[in-house]
Chain A
Amino acid sequence: MVKDQEFLKSKASYCLDLAKKMGATDASVTIGHSISETVNFRNKSLEASDRSDGLALSIETYLGKRRSSISSSNLLDENIKTLIEKCFETTKITPEDEFNSLPDKNLLAKQISSLNLYDETRFENDKKIKYLKDLEESASSDNQIINTESSFTENKSNFILANSDGFCDGYKTSSFSASCVTVAKDENSMERDYEFSSKRHLSDIKQATDLGKKAANQTIRKLSPKKIGSEKISIIFDKRISKGMLSVFASAISASAIARGTSFLKDKIDKQVFANSINVIDKPDIIKGMGSQNFDSEGVNSNTLQLIENGILKNYLIDTYNGKKLNLKSNGRSGGTTNLYFEKGNISFQDLMKKNSRSLYITETIGHGSNIVTGDYSVGATGFLVEDGEFKYPVNEITIAGNFKDMFKNIILANDLEFEYSVNSPTIMIEGMTVAGK
């Protein structure tokens, strides 16, 4: 069983009391407990089981404007005492920073509404095994599939966040995740692809057979890929890639990147950043949402933010420290976005595919090719050549490149948005990017 609020609260107040007693002017503490159980399958038989049970503690102590932190997994009182002593000793010799402080009291979350983020259902390992058997049976039904690997993870967590201004709250969350990776082979090539489903509640997880089938189909269609020539071409990004662009956008508007001046979106508030049909929203209170939260990692209340309105940048993602530096109030985004999404566009997926007589559909990118300082983008890619709205043949060993400043302004959104993850995007098209191939 995951530790209850009472246990976590008593440990948290022990830490805060101790820090105060030692002379800290302020302190904050986060304690979390998480239990997860994973079962792994390979080629229709059990491969591994993994159980983890972990406590984590982190404490920040302040002496005026001086601050330092410690973290540990050992919650024995004796150890906590040694660590807080060490932390406070470090605080004393750490230089002052005028922006160090606990969050403003009036911004702290006051009412916690239930977002239904915890499902107490226990999915025993035997049931996980049954699920994975069904999944792999379905994934391996085509004889081109030569290897299947799948896993099911059940996680239950609880946490408490407390600070010396009296904030003390936390809540339980759960997650259930199933994933499947398949390998397909033909006379020319061997390819791999995957599918996964991750939900707060067990009953929302995708059907095992659907998940397996989808992973297999996505792999088989990649067989016998060709390399194409280098050219300028319109690129359609599958949802699993387009959501990654939203994550790049989010890191470029984090208050820390803005305050440090290391973002290509610095000084762009109230300026056109995306095409004017685009809206980007971060919504923390979606019921059962994978990214939902009642407050951020500092206890600050988080409300829905319209980040992009008609293509115009309206808000940064602001935490207390960087907010003070920028002279802005925290908007409850210490720890980043919550449930981030593009509002859906108004063109269907089929129409997007047919928009150009020839385009490239990207299903996977590899490499760390997003530079948020310059906006430059260059990654390895895998996908399909599309002609007249149809997949013609699979393509690999190419790169796609551009600059986000131009790419964002040329995004066309399809209307196929679904809320599956904590970041969600419809399929998107960007015209005029460079592909490097042969």
Chain B
Amino acid sequence: MSNFFNKSDLTRQDADKIVSETLNNCDDGELYLEESKSESILLDDNKIKSSNYSSDLGFGFRAISNEVVAYSYSNEISKDSLKNSSENLKSTLKSIKGTYNHQIPKSNKKFYKDINPIEQKTLDSKLEVLNKVNDFLRKKDGSVKQVTASFAGEQKSIEIIRSGGEALTDVRPLIRFNVSVMLEKNGRKETGVFGIGGRQSYDDYLKNDNWKTVCEEAFRIASVNLESKPAPAGEMKVVLGPGWPAILIHEAIGHGLEGDFNRKKTSAFHDLMGKKVASEGVTIVDDGTIDNRRGSLTIDDEGTPTERTVLIENGILKNFMQDRHNARLMNTRSTGSGRRENYRHIVLPRMRNTMMLSGNQTQDEMIKSVDRGIFAVSFGGGQVDITSGKFVFNCTEAYEINNGKIGSPIKGATLIGDGPSILKEVSMVGNDMMLDPGIGTCGKAGQGVPVGVAQPSILIDKMTVGGTKL
């Protein structure tokens, strides 16, 4: 746990005093202190291309009254700097008065350990794994022309000081191991990427030579793509595999259910609370409480313990995801979804681990039911236009389905759909829910935060596939 008060002339008593005095006449707000240590080590083109270590320290001071949020940050933790920020906040809010809400729920549960993953594995042994990955893949097949492998590790310590001196702390480890391979055969090049990670030490993920599994998967995806044909264009049935394809849920539904867009009525979902937005049998939750997952948090960045929030239950819209600010203005409670990339950014309601729960059909039944369509197994990134509800994501591994049988692999194509209606097109929900491997980063308003997704196989009756073959 970082001690933020041995770094300069700022004592805890000073901080408490400035915070209380600044927030006295405000509705909410806090001083957020953060220290992070991170590393990234990259092997590329047969060499250790870079090894970077980074340390970051700073505070973000927030005051909220009515609908106005004033924010000021600095990476200098000192009495002067905090006082300057305080003046800045007061000048923005000078004419708006509020009543401070001291209530914040408490919990003793923790969803990961206070470790520093960077220190738990020596640099030498990290370099050794990366070199093994390179040798393994290059020896595996003559078509391997490029291998990139990387480690990224981080420990972030935060402390939240609220008016009245209440302090809340959290230490968050996070790691990611990634392999990308490019194959070349008959003049064609294709890449395959796979990664794993979460809030444990590197070796929790790499035990039993698990790095080989990651290599094999990246290689398999690239090999499939070498044989891929142009993707079809037009509306058709789409079967999504379990796990990572749930970024469809994240883009199509998740963002539209974030509190801020609904308070501002700019989300296509803002007037659909309590209404049917999905087929029966579709239940979606956003869960920050799964042990060691990439999107899990013991407390959110406002200090609220996270929870499992039911968003859609059996097709009916039940809840939005809320931070304290939007919850207060919408007369509801925070769901522990207030997050920020780091102290440089304001808090926004964000997703944690977004999951569609299992139904009782099998993937086989889904494939067999499709005359013409595609089977999408893995995706790259996605994006959504909150207001129109249109969302896209890019297939990185997909196959044609013809007359109930899986056919040839198809080239990377974008799928596009309409968020508020897509879940009504779900006609089968599989019994095979799977979590993603721990690699997701969600972007919103220029802030990236780690997230997770999960889903079973699902059949969507109608979606537009953006291939080139008419």
Residues in chain A within 8 A of chain B (CB atoms):
42, 45-55, 67-74, 76, 79, 83, 86-87, 90, 93-95, 97, 125, 146-147, 149, 183, 189-192, 225, 227, 230-232, 259-262, 325, 364, 366-369, 371, 373-374, 376, 378-380, 382, 396-403, 434-438
Residues in chain B within 8 A of chain A (CB atoms):
7, 44-45, 47-58, 67-76, 81, 85, 88, 91-92, 123-124, 127, 145-146, 182, 184, 188-191, 231, 233-235, 264-266, 268, 344, 346, 380-388, 390-394, 411-418, 464-470
Contact assessment for A68 and B52 in the assembled complex, using a CB-CB cutoff below 8 Å: yes
Given A230-B233, A435-B233, answer yes or no on A367-B182 (Cβ-Cβ < 8 Å).
no
- 5 A-B contacts, Cβ less than 8 Å apart? A50-B346, A146-B265, A192-B387, A373-B191, A378-B414
Contact assessment for B146 and A74 in the assembled complex, using a CB-CB cutoff below 8 Å: no
Residues on the A chain within 8 Å of B465, using CB: 399, 436
Contact assessment for A51 and B383 in the assembled complex, using a CB-CB cutoff below 8 Å: no
Closest B residue by C-beta to A436: B233
One of B344, B383, B469 near A368 (C-beta < 8 A): B383
Closest B residue by C-beta to A433: B468
Contact assessment for B55 and A190 in the assembled complex, using a CB-CB cutoff below 8 Å: no
B152 to chain A, nearest CB (A): 14
Closest A residue by C-beta to B470: A230
In Å, the complex CA distance between A261 and B44 comes to: 12
In Å, the complex CA distance between A396 and B418 comes to: 10
In Å, the complex CA distance between A190 and B56 comes to: 41
Closest A residue by C-beta to B380: A368
Closest B residue by C-beta to A369: B414
Residues on the B chain within 8 Å of A83, using CB: 53, 55
A375 to chain B, nearest CB (A): 10
One of A97, A183, A376 near B47 (C-beta < 8 A): A97
Closest A residue by C-beta to B381: A368
Contact assessment for B411 and A376 in the assembled complex, using a CB-CB cutoff below 8 Å: yes
Contact assessment for B417 and A397 in the assembled complex, using a CB-CB cutoff below 8 Å: yes
Residues on the B chain within 8 Å of A76, using CB: 7
Residues on the B chain within 8 Å of A403, using CB: 468
Given A262-B146, A434-B233, answer yes or no on A398-B72 (Cβ-Cβ < 8 Å).
no
A401 to chain B, nearest CB (A): 5
Contact assessment for A191 and B388 in the assembled complex, using a CB-CB cutoff below 8 Å: yes
A396 to chain B, nearest CB (A): 6
Contact assessment for B264 and A192 in the assembled complex, using a CB-CB cutoff below 8 Å: no
In Å, the complex CA distance between A86 and B51 comes to: 12
B239 to chain A, nearest CB (A): 18
One of A54, A369, A397 near B394 (C-beta < 8 A): A369
Residues on the A chain within 8 Å of B417, using CB: 397
In Å, the complex CA distance between A378 and B394 comes to: 8
Contact assessment for B55 and A399 in the assembled complex, using a CB-CB cutoff below 8 Å: no
Given A52-B73, A73-B58, A83-B55, answer yes or no on A399-B414 (Cβ-Cβ < 8 Å).
yes
B364 to chain A, nearest CB (A): 28
Beyond A49-B88, A396-B388, 5 additional contacts (C-beta under 8 Å) are: A90-B51, A368-B383, A368-B394, A399-B415, A401-B468
Contact assessment for A74 and B390 in the assembled complex, using a CB-CB cutoff below 8 Å: no
Residues on the B chain within 8 Å of A55, using CB: 75-76
One of B188, B344, B470 near A232 (C-beta < 8 A): B470
Q: Is the interface of A mostly helix, strand, loop or mixed?
A: strand
Residues on the B chain within 8 Å of A374, using CB: 188-190, 411-412
In Å, the complex CA distance between A26 and B238 comes to: 56
Residues on the A chain within 8 Å of B69, using CB: 47-49
Contact assessment for B394 and A50 in the assembled complex, using a CB-CB cutoff below 8 Å: no
Contact assessment for B182 and A401 in the assembled complex, using a CB-CB cutoff below 8 Å: no
Q: Which of A189, A262, A399 has most B Cβ within 10 Å?
A: A399
In Å, the complex CA distance between A146 and B71 comes to: 26
In Å, the complex CA distance between A149 and B127 comes to: 48
Q: Which of A87, A231, A382, A437 has most B Cβ within 10 Å?
A: A437
Given A47-B69, A94-B51, answer yes or no on A434-B344 (Cβ-Cβ < 8 Å).
no
Contact assessment for A366 and B88 in the assembled complex, using a CB-CB cutoff below 8 Å: no
B254 to chain A, nearest CB (A): 16
B444 to chain A, nearest CB (A): 14
Contact assessment for B51 and A260 in the assembled complex, using a CB-CB cutoff below 8 Å: no
B86 to chain A, nearest CB (A): 11
In Å, the complex CA distance between A157 and B366 comes to: 57
Residues on the A chain within 8 Å of B55, using CB: 70-74, 79, 83
Given A95-B127, A436-B466, answer yes or no on A68-B51 (Cβ-Cβ < 8 Å).
yes
Closest A residue by C-beta to B145: A261
B359 to chain A, nearest CB (A): 27
Contact assessment for B67 and A47 in the assembled complex, using a CB-CB cutoff below 8 Å: yes
Contact assessment for A367 and B394 in the assembled complex, using a CB-CB cutoff below 8 Å: yes
B121 to chain A, nearest CB (A): 14
Given A70-B54, A73-B57, A397-B464, answer yes or no on A45-B67 (Cβ-Cβ < 8 Å).
yes
Closest A residue by C-beta to B233: A436
Contact assessment for B412 and A371 in the assembled complex, using a CB-CB cutoff below 8 Å: yes
Q: Which of B47, B76, B388, B411 has most A Cβ within 10 Å?
A: B388
Residues on the B chain within 8 Å of A366, using CB: 383-385, 390-392
Contact assessment for A379 and B51 in the assembled complex, using a CB-CB cutoff below 8 Å: no
Residues on the B chain within 8 Å of A261, using CB: 145-146, 182, 184, 189
Closest A residue by C-beta to B232: A436
For the complex of A and B, the 4 pairs showing the least CB-CB separation, nearest first, are A399-B466, A380-B392, A436-B233, A367-B392
Residues on the A chain within 8 Å of B123, using CB: 90, 93
One of B44, B127, B266, B381 near A367 (C-beta < 8 A): B381
Residues on the A chain within 8 Å of B380, using CB: 368
Residues on the A chain within 8 Å of B264, using CB: 42, 147, 149
Residues on the B chain within 8 Å of A260, using CB: 44-45, 146
In Å, the complex CA distance between A70 and B384 comes to: 35
A180 to chain B, nearest CB (A): 14
Closest A residue by C-beta to B61: A51
Closest A residue by C-beta to B67: A47
B155 to chain A, nearest CB (A): 14
Residues on the A chain within 8 Å of B47, using CB: 95, 97
In Å, the complex CA distance between A49 and B268 comes to: 27
One of B49, B53, B266 near A90 (C-beta < 8 A): B53
Contact assessment for B416 and A397 in the assembled complex, using a CB-CB cutoff below 8 Å: yes
One of B72, B74, B81, B390 near A382 (C-beta < 8 A): B390
B156 to chain A, nearest CB (A): 14
